[in-house]
Chain A
Amino acid sequence: MSGFTSRLLGPRIPSAELDRHRARYLLPTLLLSLARVLLLVSIFLPYWHMELVAPQYPDGLELTAYVNHLGGDVKEIDGLNHYIGMRSLHEAGQLERRASVWIIVAMVLLVEGAAVVHSRWAILLAIPALLFPVIFLIDLQFWMQLFGQGLDPKAPLSSSVKPFTPTILGEGGIGQFKTYAEMGWGLWLAFASSGVTIVGFWFHRRAYKPLFEAARRASSPVEAVAGAS
């Protein structure tokens, strides 16, 4: 088991090597730390905005999605949505919103773990965090489609507003409203976190691959003998 663990974690850095090339090993650590911080900060920032503009709303209505709650004119938008038979926005993604902060913390811990793994498999631990922003958008699309397509046929305006799929990025429209949806800074940070993670792992691999290969070279004859016997 300890053999597996050490193989998984990869070789440790000899202290002489660390003193000589401190920056080389520090860089991936710092980049992965940055990626973690970006992801954590994104919790506090809006992931997605939609602005709805209509003649009688000259200041527009705002809908803002955070990972764990909805902000903006939700009450008014819900009030209007009832005319077309759309369910209350609060019913969408309840599980996601409840779990998201814990999921992000878990993903950050996994990336944290990845930083101490020096093998090439380290990146596997970071995959959830890497994909998180994409998953967020897919989930958003899922709910929007579900709500937009699942309009109550008995709603007052069902004859003039047919089921539709709201546009989650860019310009759309529904009834007399024009909608403008765009990524929020939280989502940008999450994407940035993914990018920094990838770059971090590139440097990670560049730093540790030589060690790994050196270790393999050093240990392979012994292992070969052991395997033969």
Chain B
Amino acid sequence: MHRALSRHPGTSHPVRFTALLAAVVGLTMSGTTLAQDVKKESRRGRQKEVKPVELNASQVAELTKVANERKLTVDDLLAATKTYMPSGRHDDYVLFSSGGQSGQVFAIGVPSMRLLRSIAVFTPESWQGYGFSGQDDPVLERLKINGKLVPWGDTHHPALSETAGEYDGQFLFIGDKANARIGVIDLRDWETKQVVKNPLTVSDHGGAFVTPNTEYIVEGGQYATVLGYGYAPIDDYKKSYRGMVTLWKFDRAKGRIDVDNSFALELPPYWQDLADAGKLASDGFIFLNSFNTEMATGGIEQGKPPFEAGASQRDMDYLHVIDWKRAEQAFKAGKAKKTNGFPVISLETSIADGLLYFVPEPKSPHGVDVTPNGQYMVVAGKLDPHVTVYSIEKLKKAIADKKFSGKDDYGVPVLDFDAVMEAQVELGLGPLHTQFDDKGYAYTSLFLDSAVARWTLGGDYAKKHEEAPWKLVTKTPVQYNIGHLCTAEGDSASPDGKYLISMSKWSVDRFLPTGPLLPQNFQLVDIGAPGTTMPVLFDMPIGVGEPHYCQMIKADKLKTWTTYPEIGWDPHTQALDPRAPRAGKEGVTRDGSQVAVNMTAVRSHFTPEHVVVNEGDHVTWRIVSVESTIDATHGFCIGGYGINLSLEPGEFTEFTFTADKPGTYPYYCTEFCSALHLEMMGYLQVKPKSSTAVTDATK
């Protein structure tokens, strides 16, 4: 260095110095960061590293004493250890569950089974301020059906958005069975962005299910009606009533269903049930179960067989096989005709274009579930003690070879059962739904046996487990009457195994009695070990509604916002709203009887704190939280006017109302935000018509 310097004093050394300096600065800075990290950890007293547990004799004695006092078994201790989450520790998985008649979605941490939050979808919910922003509430608007507010839903089947058959953690779709609606939830802020109403049918069941890249959200119908809210006497059932399946096009960039590019297929008036989309080997197909191919029309009061008997006469019903990629081509080719303004591909077109085939399935089945590799479709018998497994390879070949056993009443070709069936596995009574793990096992809920069955898959899966293929391995009793079940990412292309949730419908004696209405029971089952060990670890009461289906996603796939990205964010548009009031620009302005309030909220005050209007004024109230700190949420309510908002950090909301009742109305923050939360209030004063009118509303 010294020599180099003396040889080239003018040129080389500044460069070297800069380089050296950069290196020194770089090193010292990285050193600082490290040093600061260490210091922060110790300052906060947070322990990231947990020392391995080594119980000494006195701790064993203490643990034994507590266990015996509480009458816990060794298995109970293990179960507790497998599920307990110390304060501040986050769960590995998030379970998104339908909330049944609550019209909501529940998010639950697994394995701790702690309820993280509910997400309002079809039912106004006041904590989230969902549907409580006055007369023009966009939520209430979206919940209208044929102009009538239908403020509840029967949420059934959540569907996480997928990319290449894997959950991508971006969106969640949920079907409303009662009203044939699909809700779209954005998983950045966990809020409902859209509700679409199916214009064809009143109720549905086979929704929501997504195609492997979320090209479409599938909504299969259930109870046949005259499509498009039509009327026909029940005697015209076969002629006028129809089933349907709708393919809602999803626009991922917009995060919305693209209604204009969505379409439906007309189906015979069988009661379509659950659906699943093919993937990998079966990509391009949708599978949809059905029952009541008898086309029973009930009438118990007239001495006719009730539905429950009439719909269970035939030995076989039809698994619907729909080639959605060809259906999409037919739709794009203009072959769909509009019913109630919505494009529907007729049965004739479906038959002519080879879009629809039927496969016989044991009578009145329930779930149809595609294996992770897409090679098999598993149909659970419900009234039949078997699951019936179909091979996509055989199915495609049967279609190519036209191996039909006949046609149904509407001319739909019925594939030969033996040509497409791969295996039938006897599991027990009331098989309903099937999911999968990473070890080549399938898990089927047995409603009547009140058990979860583990059984082996064959084909490519046979080498993953030690047992013979297509055989029952074990059953674990669950309490009680299991409906759906769900394993970790268990309906994706690569299930994780580990955990299974039994969505038990009856809890009977599992919890303290809560009156005649009892909670549901979500049971966590440990499916980590192969073979016959499959213990129940935890019971979680769900006392908010009757959930149906749930999906479990790895928590780190969710890219959740903890505050809105910018101050003035409108969650409805997921964009900054130029109308959002800015700090320093608040106030009340008046144009005739139109009053605009521009308000900001920050700990611990609203600005302005006085709003004076005249009776009869139409008030447009814009309010923005100028907070940007995690969990610094405010609420905003005006008692007597039915207003309650949740103002999350950065959120902008606008609501309107007519100040038709004079008086003095305190408005206040409804979310305990700070030490001066109670002081976070203001007065809305509505001057009676008799008193002097307010001309300058700003006070």
Which residues on A are within 8 Å of B, measured CB to CB?
22-23, 26, 30, 33-34, 37-38, 41, 45, 51, 53, 58-60, 73, 75-76, 79, 83, 156-157, 178, 180, 185, 188-189
B238 within 8 A of A: no
B329 within 8 A of A: no
Contact A58 B44 (CB under 8 A): yes
Report how far A53 CA is from B43 CA in the complex, Å: 8
Contact A156 B676 (CB under 8 A): yes
Report how far A38 CA is from B88 CA in the complex, Å: 43
Contact A83 B602 (CB under 8 A): no
Interface segment out of the listed B6-14, B64-72, B519-527, B548-556: B6-14
From A41, A51, A79, give the contact of B602 (CB < 8 A): A79
Q: Given A22-B6, A51-B43, A185-B32, check contact A79 B13 (CB 8 Å).
A: no
Contact A83 B676 (CB under 8 A): yes
| Dominant SS among interface residues on chain A | helix
Determine the chain B residues whose CB is within 8 A of the CB of A73 once the complex forms: 629
From B6, B18, B46, B674, give the contact of A58 (CB < 8 A): B46
Which residues on B are within 8 Å of A, measured CB to CB?
2, 5-6, 9, 13-14, 17-18, 21, 25, 28-29, 32, 39-40, 43-44, 46, 88, 602-604, 627-629, 674-676, 679
Report how far A75 CA is from B583 CA in the complex, Å: 13
Contact A37 B18 (CB under 8 A): yes
Determine the chain B residues whose CB is within 8 A of the CB of A189 once the complex forms: 25
Can you give 11 contacting A-B residue pairs, CB < 8 Å? A26-B5, A34-B17, A45-B29, A51-B40, A53-B43, A58-B88, A59-B44, A73-B629, A79-B627, A157-B675, A185-B28
- From B627, which residue of chain A is reached at the shortest CB distance? A79
Determine the chain B residues whose CB is within 8 A of the CB of A30 once the complex forms: 5, 13, 17
Report how far A188 CA is from B24 CA in the complex, Å: 13
Determine the chain A residues whose CB is within 8 A of the CB of B14 once the complex forms: 33
Determine the chain B residues whose CB is within 8 A of the CB of A180 once the complex forms: 39, 43
Determine the chain A residues whose CB is within 8 A of the CB of B6 once the complex forms: 22-23, 26
Contact B29 A185 (CB under 8 A): yes
Determine the chain B residues whose CB is within 8 A of the CB of A156 once the complex forms: 604, 675-676, 679
Given A30-B17, A45-B29, A58-B44, 20 more pairs with CB closer than 8 A: A23-B6, A26-B6, A26-B9, A33-B17, A34-B17, A51-B40, A53-B44, A58-B88, A59-B44, A60-B44, A73-B629, A79-B602, A79-B603, A83-B604, A83-B675, A83-B676, A156-B675, A156-B676, A185-B25, A188-B28
B503 to chain A minimum Cβ distance, whole angstroms, is 34
Determine the chain B residues whose CB is within 8 A of the CB of A60 once the complex forms: 40, 43-44
Q: Given A33-B17, A83-B675, check contact A178 B9 (CB 8 Å).
A: no
Determine the chain B residues whose CB is within 8 A of the CB of A38 once the complex forms: 21
- From B13, which residue of chain A is reached at the shortest CB distance? A30
Report how far A30 CA is from B679 CA in the complex, Å: 63
From B5, B25, B628, B674, give the contact of A23 (CB < 8 A): B5
Q: Which 4 A-B pairs have the closest CB atoms?
A: A22-B6, A76-B629, A156-B676, A23-B6
Report how far A73 CA is from B46 CA in the complex, Å: 21
Report how far A51 CA is from B376 CA in the complex, Å: 58
Contact B2 A23 (CB under 8 A): yes
Determine the chain A residues whose CB is within 8 A of the CB of B88 once the complex forms: 58
Determine the chain A residues whose CB is within 8 A of the CB of B29 once the complex forms: 45, 185
Report how far A189 CA is from B603 CA in the complex, Å: 39
Contact A37 B17 (CB under 8 A): yes
Report how far A37 CA is from B17 CA in the complex, Å: 9
- From B631, which residue of chain A is reached at the shortest CB distance? A56
B375 to chain A minimum Cβ distance, whole angstroms, is 47
- From A29, which residue of chain B is reached at the shortest CB distance? B9
Determine the chain A residues whose CB is within 8 A of the CB of B602 once the complex forms: 79
Report how far A58 CA is from B45 CA in the complex, Å: 9
Determine the chain A residues whose CB is within 8 A of the CB of B21 once the complex forms: 34, 37-38, 41
- From A180, which residue of chain B is reached at the shortest CB distance? B43
